[in-house]
Amino acid sequence: MRNILVLTHGNFAQGIVSSVEVICGSDFGIKCICVGVEDSLETVSDQIKAFLVACPINEEKIIITDISGGSTTSAAIHFVNDDNKVYVITGLNLGMLLEIVLNQEEDVVNALTTITENAKQTILFLNSMMPK
C-alpha cells in the first residue's frame, strides 16, 4: 500500500484532496498538511515525521509538495535519506495526484517517474495553440 501525504502552503492540500475524493471516492486515505504563515520549518517537519511514524514501516510513503523551492519541499526532502521507502514529488496538480492515487500496481519508482513526466506534458498555454 502507498501512504500519500499532500503538503502545501495554505489550504491548497485540503482543496485538492477534496477534489480527488469527488472524482475517486474517499477510500484512499490521503493525508494533508496545510502550512500557514505561523508554521515554522520545525513545526512542519514534526508534522511530516508524525505522518511517517504512523505509516507501516514496509509501506511506501509518498509526499507531494506544491512548490519545488518552497518551505514545504525543504521540510519534506530531509526525510528521503531517513527511509528508503519515502518518495518526494513536487509541483502538485490534480492530474498528478489522481495518477498517483489510481496507479497502485506499478513499481513506485517507475510509476512516479512516469507520472511526473506526464504532468510536465499537461502544462499548456492554450492560446498559443489556437489557429490564427
Question: From first to last of its 132 residues, what are the pLDDT tens digits of the chain?
Answer: 789 999 999 999 999 999 999 999 888 889 999 999 999 999 999 999 999 999 998 899 999 999 999 999 999 999 997 667 999 999 999 999 999 999 888 899 999 999 999 999 999 999 999 998
Name the residue ranges covered by the structural domains of the chain. Answer: 2-129
| CB-CB neighbours of 3 under 10 Å | 20
Q: What single letter denotes the amino acid at residue 29?
A: G
pLDDT at 82: 65
pLDDT at 99: 94
CA distance 17 to 6: 8
2-129: CATH class: alpha beta
- Of 41, 85, 32, the C-alpha closest to 61 is 85
CA distance 21 to 19: 5
- Of 51, 21, 19, the C-alpha closest to 33 is 51
pLDDT at 27: 82
| Three-state secondary structure call for residue 105 | coil
- Of 46, 110, 41, 98, the C-alpha closest to 72 is 41
